[in-house]
Chain A
């Protein structure tokens, strides 16, 4: 980044330690580096104002009992919001469902399916590749709410899925009611696989043909090539993709809100929905913000794990 001021003196300044002239020179250096930093200062000010500011404010609020309505004054309550969360069954339920949702839809679903699609497309003919790519990417560019409505229509009792099952003479059911977390996880896979697919397609294209050809000549089977050559070579992409996917999945709100509103009986209420309910429906801004910070913590835990995975060699 160009923002960092040079630590050593610029080319025009002689080093003259301990001489009276040096102090003037050092001041000049400081002044000069300040001037050099000036052009980026608006960006820094903006970042502080609009990014660091609200985050700092959130941290402060998380330690108060601030409400949106129903209370004249708020006061500091220490860690009460956090201890309350861990005593709150609905919160623990939301943490569990968030983990299920993330593992099912991001780690297993989007990631594996994206990789599978990308490897299959490497071998497919161009029209097939374009068509598949087009369809998958369409799901991705749809706004979250639109995707939510589409999948609501797919899963609901009179929906497409049940129509297909009926036609196949298989038992139908209200998926959003009986298996809500599975339904929303599927929706997230449907929507988000394109991203993984694009990342992995790019990564697979980077692998030199000679390497795979050599392995093929040596008689390595498809699975062995995948395990011993492809995967190690795209290790970094896997890490990056997992991290981005996970963070995106942790914050999914609109999709679940439209499909189930976290119900029935909280059976698909992940942390973002729980947070929304506390902050804006129950007006407990302080508690909701504390939950938001805990969600941030979960996100960073995942990130740390992925970053460590990235460092270890296969």
Chain B
């Protein structure tokens, strides 16, 4: 059939209408379209066998819908590794059409997202919520913006310390209740293992860009925050709002990393700089007794739970725990770093009130406790932390909860992610031996100026 003028016109019109309507339909999936549905975005594990968060949220959804008749919860999982989750979330938060009502935010990036105007201050809600007083101050601070307002409700934290293999320690003639007092005692233990237990990596300290934030936080900051007297933040001057250039503590921390790799107390440099090395530490080296000491996070047992693929229920008998000491044993003697995640409400959310109701349901005392236990998290609520049922729920919880007293939070301001990369680069330089400690520290100063628009100060 020859196309007539009319049929052509019709086809064109039809096509255009169809196009326009699909385009509009694609935009219609935002949060504002239904005042009775609260959309909750969260990070789903990339490991299909791990369903901790899915199960927990499904339970809360049921409770919430029962308590609020007529209201609905829509869970919007984002299945991605950390760094890609942040990116995806930030893209969603940019527009009211895609912004959910509630998002799961890492404290690592929360300040950056606050500055972007992605999140809504929660102070008005928190003022009317009695449970907020139960949260410990350091955790509250982690979700506070530079404007002093609070933008998120923390759902737990983590701490870091030294895990050691009792078997390796026995072979090396080291005590089973090991608790080093200074950095030198840590290094000495590693040297002893190197000498007496061949075939075992004495100590692991994450380093370099491939390890990412693990290098900065589990590695470098666990050292840096243990230098000086521990009362001042060694990275960021809060009063002057300036980043601090590399001083003595910074160089000493780099020197510690250099010693570990130069004396071959750590893993082979090429292994340490393998992006998948963290997985091997948790899944292979520690369970098989091939690693003496691991400077690592409180969440490790999550990997050894039933159904995880590397089940290791006996870990609590085979591994010992020690706090990371300060450099020379100065007060308070121990050091730890904390991060964690918070629930935050996007600035462009359609149903913020309902979203806060959902937070309150998640944070009833019983639900909070259930969550900490399920994800090997450390409580940030005093009432839960003091509950014997929580403390006994898992070996190690008590140890890591005690570290909350001496823990530090990162200066997670907008420039932080770039500062973190600068730290990783400095570490990588001394790890490979390409840079001396001084060179790496000067390189850090340069990178710091670039990353912070020259907002730096020397101390």
Contact = CB atoms under 8 A, between A and B. Distances in A.
Contact of B112 (A45, A69, A265): A69
A42 B86 CA distance: 36
Contact of A69 (B5, B15, B113, B273): B113
A177 B269 contact: yes
Contact of A265 (B90, B275, B428): B428
Interface string B77-88: 000000110110
Contact of B115 (A46, A70, A263): A70
B273 A263 contact: yes
Interface in A114-141: none
B208 A280 contact: no
B12 to A, nearest CB: 5
A2 interface: no
A13 to B, nearest CB: 16
B418 A69 contact: no
Contact of A68 (B16, B90, B210, B434): B90
B417 interface: yes
Interface in A266-310: 280-283
A243 interface: no
Interface in B108-127: 109, 112-113, 115-118
**Chain B: interface residue count, which band?**
35 or more
A247 to B, nearest CB: 26
B208 to A, nearest CB: 7
A38 B11 CA distance: 9
A72 B9 CA distance: 46
A281 B208 CA distance: 15
Interface in A138-157: 156-157
Nearest to B416: A70
Contacts of A68: 87, 90-91
A39 B432 contact: no
B432 A281 contact: no
Interface string B59-86: 0000000000000000000000001101
Given A69-B109, A282-B421, A174 B268 contact: yes
A263 B208 contact: yes
B428 A280 contact: no
Given A35-B5, A281-B421, A42 B116 contact: no
A105 to B, nearest CB: 21
A263 B210 contact: yes
A177 B15 contact: no
Given A39-B11, A282-B421, A264 B115 contact: no
Contacts of A41: 12, 15
Contacts of A178: 270
Contact of A263 (B11, B275, B429): B275
Contacts of B8: 35, 38-39
Interface residues of A, number: 28
Nearest to A177: B270
Contacts of B275: 260-261, 263
B3 interface: yes
Contact of A70 (B83, B116, B273, B429): B116
Contact of A282 (B210, B270, B418, B428): B418
B50 to A, nearest CB: 20
A71 interface: yes
Contact of B16 (A35, A42, A69): A42
B244 interface: no
B83 A280 contact: yes
A184 interface: no
Contacts of A71: 115-116, 414
Contacts of B405: none
Contacts of A94: none
B270 A176 contact: yes
Give the interface SS of chain B, mostly helix, strand, loop or mixed. Answer: helix
Contacts of A174: 268, 270-271
B359 interface: no
Contacts of A157: 268, 270-271
Nearest to B93: A69
Interface in A47-99: 67-72
A67 B114 CA distance: 13
B81 to A, nearest CB: 12
Given A70-B115, A177-B273, A42 B208 contact: no
Nearest to B110: A69
Interface in B211-240: none
Given A70-B414, A280-B83, A261 B210 contact: yes
Contacts of A42: 12, 15-16, 19
For A41, A69, A72, which residue has the most chain B Cβ atoms within 10 angstroms? A69
B415 interface: yes
A70 B112 contact: yes
A147 to B, nearest CB: 17
B85 to A, nearest CB: 11
B11 A176 contact: no
A209 to B, nearest CB: 48
Contacts of B19: 42, 45-46
Nearest to A281: B83
B421 A69 contact: no
B209 interface: yes
B3 A39 contact: yes
B438 interface: no
Contacts of B91: 68
A42 B18 CA distance: 10
Given A39-B11, A45-B19, A263-B208, A69 B118 contact: yes
A282 B417 contact: yes
B212 to A, nearest CB: 9
Contacts of A67: 116
A264 B210 contact: yes
Interface in B1-33: 3, 5, 8-9, 11-12, 15-16, 19
A264 B432 contact: yes
Given A263-B275, A281-B421, 14 more contacts: A35-B8, A38-B9, A39-B3, A41-B15, A45-B19, A68-B87, A157-B268, A174-B268, A263-B209, A264-B210, A265-B429, A280-B83, A282-B417, A282-B418
17 contacts: A39-B3, A39-B11, A42-B15, A42-B16, A68-B90, A69-B90, A72-B117, A157-B271, A177-B270, A177-B274, A178-B270, A261-B209, A263-B273, A264-B428, A265-B208, A265-B209, A280-B87
Interchain residue pairs A-B with the least CB separation, the first 10: A70-B414, A177-B270, A174-B270, A70-B112, A42-B15, A69-B112, A264-B273, A261-B275, A38-B8, A38-B12
